[in-house]
Amino acid sequence: MPPGARDAILTANSRQDRPTIPALGPISGFLSTLRARRRKKSTQPARRSRDSPPTSGACVWKARPKIYARARVADWTGRAQFRPDENPLPTDFVAWLRAGDLVRPNAVACFDAYFSRFPSHQLAYCDEICSDYAGWKPVLKPGWSPTLHLSQPYIGRAAFVRAALAGARQDDMSADRVVDGLSPHEVGALRLPLFEFPAAPAPTPAQFEAICRDARPSVSIVIPTRDKADLLEACLASLFERTAYSNFDVVLVDNDSVEPRTLELIRDIEATFDRLKVVKIPGEFNFSTLSNAGAQACDGEFLLFLNNDTQIVTPDWIERLLYFARDPKVGAVGAKLLYPDRKTQHVGVLLGMGGVAGHFGAGLDEKAPGWWGRNLAPHEVSAVTAACMMVERKKFDAAGRFDEVNLPVDLNDVDLCLRLGERGWRTICHSQVVLIHHQSASRGGGLRLQQVYARERRFFLERWRAVIRDDPYFHPGLSLYATTEMLP
């Protein structure tokens, strides 16, 4: 929830100048009854009428302070013909409802306060309560993620739209359609369950074909490495044998490899592949330094940072990453990473998880949809891991590259994504690009690295404390100490 919204909502009941906000139901029957009663200290749950009205018409109800209104409408039979230019309604905001939908008593006051607080927002959606024969459960939604919404329209009917905007889209009367023409800054989320809907089968995320085929920009793949010849060999074999894209080169950044087999492998691949060159960077392990040096040593228009303990699974992975990376509004693009046992390791970084940042969705089955289908569909996130990260070179340079001084080992990728975000570039996790990742198998450990981790964690918390408090692509009602959706 944007800063200040909750305070505005809590004081909304004291306002007497709130606009009239009708909710439009389908044109298939004028409401046959409208029961308005003042809220009482009753423990009886509100009941939903299942009768069908005998005549045709439109369902409209007006909000009054502390009045709970309920209407019976027929099932959906077609689009409503709401034309404010021909039949204007005394309203500022519009919601589309169906038979059986229930609006909570404080919904209008909450949306009124929200729109008053954020006048630039054209549409605001909220959470839902889903009810069926077994009871009810909350449906908690992420912040506005336009990429996820393309394959998993999650706004649904729990939303209000400015009337002028609704009238301009007469042929597509639903919040999920109206939002398509809005910028991300015109859409807001109200993190309260203000609507109750009958249960419906959970939708399966649509296949999102996002593949760059019309252009072949140059891509430079930067791979830091040290020893572990078996991992490096598997990585390079999958890279050159499975990658469908052709316009790429590889920069192998060798950080003091000493094992004879590794040195022999490096000599062989350097002599075999024209598109591969080796850059030697001695000294203590510093991922940021190695990655920046690799980026400096190549000429690709797009940079693709890749760990040496990864293996390519999706042949057109570069094309799919390029589809988003070429977008002027997108900064970093990451991939879905799997453990060797094919369980999910990474589909984006969640800020605040475990107190700092973590991988929400880790441990899910490879084919499980996850929260709002994000395990299977591309979606916005606050950050992605640099185990596989693509970013356009000019954006990488503009953001200041990886922080070599303060974040040499960990959290440097998250920090880069957040700095890209400060400049207005979104971060995307493309869950249909799949790689196997042997988590930090080549990095090693030791007391020095543990001390570095602790120092980096303190620095990161200090730099991004305000952002960590509320990841915009998560929900504050869910636990930050679980890898799947779970109430605290």
Considering the entire predicted model, what is its pTM? 0.80
Strands 159-162, 123-132: parallel, antiparallel or unpaired by DSSP?
A: antiparallel
Which segments of the chain belong to CATH 3.90.550.10? 219-468
Q: β-pairing, 248-254 with 276-280? A: parallel
Q: What is the pLDDT of residue 91?
A: 67
Of residues 37 and 468, more confidence is placed in 468
Report the pLDDT value the prediction gives residue 370, as an integer from 0 to 100: 94
**pLDDT for residue 87:** 56
452 pLDDT more than 90: no
pLDDT band at 247 (very low <50, low <70, confident <90, very high): very high
On the question of pLDDT at 213 being above 90, the answer is no
Amino acid letter at 288? S
Residues in CB range of 59: below 8 A, 6 or more apart: 23, 24, 25, 26, 29, 30, 31, 71, 73, 97
Average pLDDT over residues 253-261: 95
- Give per-residue pLDDT as tens, 454-475: 999 999 999 999 999 899 999 9
Closest by CA position to 371, among listed 483, 209, 206: 483
- Please state which CATH number belongs to domain 5-198: 3.90.550
Q: For residue 60, what are its two tokens?
A: 């409209």
Residue 246 is predicted with a pLDDT of 93
**pLDDT on residue 52:** 33
Q: Calculate the average pLDDT of the chain.
A: 81
Nearest to 460 by CA among 421, 425, 426, 409: 409
- Residues composing the chain: 488
Quote the pLDDT of residue 453: 87
Ordered DSSP codes for 107-126:
HHHHHHHHHHH-TT-SEEEE
Which pLDDT score, from 0 to 100, does residue 255 have? 96
Specify the range with the lowest mean pLDDT, choosing from 54-58, 341-345, 427-431.
54-58
Q: Report whether pLDDT(63) > 60.
A: no
- What is the pLDDT confidence band of residue 441, given thresholds at 50, 70 and 90? low
Is 219-468 CATH 3.40.47.10?
no
Question: How confident is the model at residue 69, as a pLDDT?
Answer: 34
Residue 288 or residue 132, greater confidence:
288
Mean local confidence (pLDDT), 125-145: 87
Residue found under tokens 């950044």: 253
pLDDT at 413 over 70: yes
pLDDT category, 86, cuts 50, 70, 90?
Answer: low
What is the model's pLDDT at position 29?
28
Which of the residue ranges 24-38, 55-69, 208-222, 472-486 has the most confident prediction, judged by mean pLDDT? 472-486
For residue 20, the Cα-to-chain-centroid distance in whole angstroms is 33
Res. 88 pLDDT band, cuts 50 70 90: low
pLDDT in tens, 93-102: 888 888 778 8
pLDDT at 443: 54
- Average pLDDT in the 179-194 region? 92
Of the pLDDT bands very low, low, confident and very high (cuts 50, 70, 90), residue 61 is very low
pLDDT of 179 higher than 50: yes
The residue ranges of DSSP E strands in 87-237, in sequence order, are 93-96, 102-103, 123-132, 135-139, 159-162, 187-198, 219-225
Higher pLDDT, 163 or 172: 163
**pLDDT tens digits along 385-400:** 999 999 999 999 999 9
Q: Check residue 398 and give its pLDDT.
A: 98
Least confidently predicted of 55-69, 242-256, 259-273, 282-296: 55-69
State the pLDDT at residue 386: 98
Q: Which residue has the higher pLDDT, 60 or 275?
A: 275
**Given a cut of 80, is residue 17 above it in pLDDT?**
no
Calculate what percentage of the chain has a pLDDT beyond 90: 60
CB count within 10 Å of CB 358 equals 18
Task: Indicate if the pLDDT at residue 57 is higher than 70.
Answer: no
pLDDT band with cut points at 50, 70 and 90 for residue 211? confident
Predicted confidence (pLDDT) at residue 15 exceeds the cutoff of 50: no
Dihedral pair phi/psi, residue 84, rounded to 5°: -65, -25
Residue 318 near residue 357, CB atoms below 8 Å: no
